[in-house]
Amino acid sequence: MAETGKAKTITIISGKGGTGKTSVTAAFASLAAPVVVADCDVDAANLHLLLSPEVEKSVDFYAMPIARINQDLCVGCGLCNDLCRYDAIVIQDDNYSVDPLACEACLVCKEHCPEQAIYTVERQAGYWFLSQARTGPMVHASLGIAQENSGKLVTEVRKAAADVAEEEKLDLVLVDGPPGIGCAVMASLTGADLVIAVTEATQSGLKDLIRVNDLCNHFKIPIHIIVNKCDLNPEVTQTVRKWAQEAKAPIIGEIPYDTDFTKAMIEAKTIVEYKSSRIGDELKNIWNTVLETMKSIA
C-alpha cells in the first residue's frame, strides 16, 4: 500500500443482497490484517458474526427528533393532519397523535400548531461501536428496529473508521456496504478509492450489478467485479463477462458455487481461516489482484 499518510478505502457493495459481500469482506480482512474494517450495512449488520469483535467503545446514535402531541393542549382542530404529507397524524376517538414510524421529522405540524401543542422528542435510534476484531480495529453499528437515518449512521461509522485508521497508522479501510442503490449505499460510497461489487451469476444479479455500476459511474468511483456462484449458469456468467468488458468494469475474480462459505459462517470463521478450501485459495488470488490495483490508484 502506498505510504501517502491517508488511509485508502475499499468499499464492497453488491446491488442485490445475499451475493456474498460480507463473506468476501471478511476474507479480505483476514488477508489484509491488521486493517480497519467498517460494517456500513447498518440495516442488517452481519460482519461481526464472522469477526467476533470485542467492543471497546459504544456511542449513542440519535436520529432526528420527531413530533409528539400534548393531549392537554390539543383542541383537535386538525390542522396538523391537513399539513402533514406523510400521513403521520393518527386520529382515534377525536384524539390526535403522531405515528412515530410515519413521521419524517419535518416539524411542519409543530411550526403551525395554533395551540403550540406539538413538541419534539429526541430519539436514541441505535449505537455505533469501536471494537477490536482479530483482524484489527472494527467499527460497526446497530440501528434500532424500524428506524430511519441509516445514511446518517453509515456516515458516522465511516468517519469513525477513517479516524481510527489515522490514530493507529493503518493505511487501509475495508468497508462492507449495504445492498441496493439508495441512501445508505451512497453514504457508504463517499470517500471510496475503489469499489468492489460482488455479484452472482444470475439474471437478477446481473441486472442489479448494472444499476450499481451506473451509481459508481455517477460518483466517478472505479469499480471492479467479483462474480460469485459463477458456475450456476455458464451462459449468464458469459453475459456478465461480456457486459463487464463493454462497461470497462474489470472482473477480478470468479468464485464457483460452494457451501464452504456457509460452513465457515456457522463456525464463525472467515473462508480463508476455514480449513483448506478451494474458494479460500481463490480469494487469496483475488486479494493479490486488489493489492496490485490499489498501487495504481494514486
Partner 1 sequence: MHIAIASGKGGTGKTTVAVALARVMGSCVLVDCDVEAPNAHLFLNPDVQNTQDAYVMIPEVDDGKCTGCGECSRVCQFNALAVLGKSVLVFNELCHGCGGCVLACEPKAITEGGRLIGTMQWGKAGNLDFYDAKLRIGEPMSPPLIKALKRQAECLEAKNTILDCPPGTTCPMVEAVGGADYCILVTEPTPFGLHDLNMAYQAVQQMDIPAGVILNRAGMGDDCIQEYCKANGIPILLEIPHSREIAEGYAAGKDILSSMPSLEDGFKKVINTISEGLNNG
- In this structure, are residues 226 and 249 in contact, taking their beta carbons and an 8 Å threshold? no
* 131-170 positions binding partner 1, by CB under 8 A: 143, 145-148, 150-151
Report d(CA 270, CA 154) in Å as an integer. 23
- DSSP-derived 3-state class of residue 115: coil
Q: How far is the CB of 31 from partner 1 (least distance, A)?
A: 21
Grid-cell match 469501536, residue found: 130
256 binds partner 1 (CB under 8 A): no
Q: How far is the CB of 109 from partner 1 (least distance, A)?
A: 10
Q: What is the C-alpha end-to-end distance of the chain, expressed in Å?
A: 10
* 166-205 positions binding partner 1, by CB under 8 A: 178-186, 200-204
Q: How far is the CB of 186 from partner 1 (least distance, A)?
A: 6
111 binds partner 1 (CB under 8 A): yes
Q: Which is nearer to partner 1, 142 or 289 (CB)?
A: 142
Report d(CA 144, CA 150) in Å as an integer. 10
247 binds partner 1 (CB under 8 A): no
* 69-108 positions binding partner 1, by CB under 8 A: 83, 85-86, 101-102, 104-108
Task: Please pick, from the candidates 12, 117, 172, 215, the single residue that binds partner 1 as defined by CB under 8 A.
Answer: 215
Q: How many CA atoms lie within 13 A of 27 on its CB side?
A: 27
- Residues, the chain, total? 298
* 276-295 positions binding partner 1, by CB under 8 A: none
Task: Please pick, from the candidates 162, 229, 255, 282, the single residue that binds partner 1 as defined by CB under 8 A.
Answer: 229
CA 182 from centre of chain: 10
Strands 172-176 and 36-39: parallel
Phi, psi of 274 (to 5 degrees): -85, 115
Classify residue 238 as exposed, middle or buried by CB count within 10 Å of its CB (0-12, 13-18, 19+): exposed
CA 234 from centre of chain: 29
**Which span (32-40, 52-60, 128-136, 256-264) binds partner 1, by CB under 8 A?**
256-264
Tell me the number of residues near partner 1 by CB under 8 A: 62
What Rg do the C-alpha atoms of the chain give, in angstroms? Answer: 22
Q: 21-32 and 278-296 are packed helices; what angle lies between their axes, rounded to 10 degrees?
A: 70
Report d(CA 285, CA 267) in Å as an integer. 23
Q: Which is nearer to partner 1, 143 or 165 (CB)?
A: 143
Q: How far is the CB of 291 from partner 1 (least distance, A)?
A: 27
**Which span (127-135, 166-174, 264-272, 277-285) binds partner 1, by CB under 8 A?**
264-272
22 binds partner 1 (CB under 8 A): yes
Give me the residues that bind partner 1 (CB under 8 A), please: 14-19, 22, 43-44, 46, 49, 64, 83, 85-86, 101-102, 104-108, 111-112, 143, 145-148, 150-151, 178-186, 200-204, 207-208, 211, 214-215, 218, 229, 232-233, 235-236, 257, 259, 262, 265-266, 268
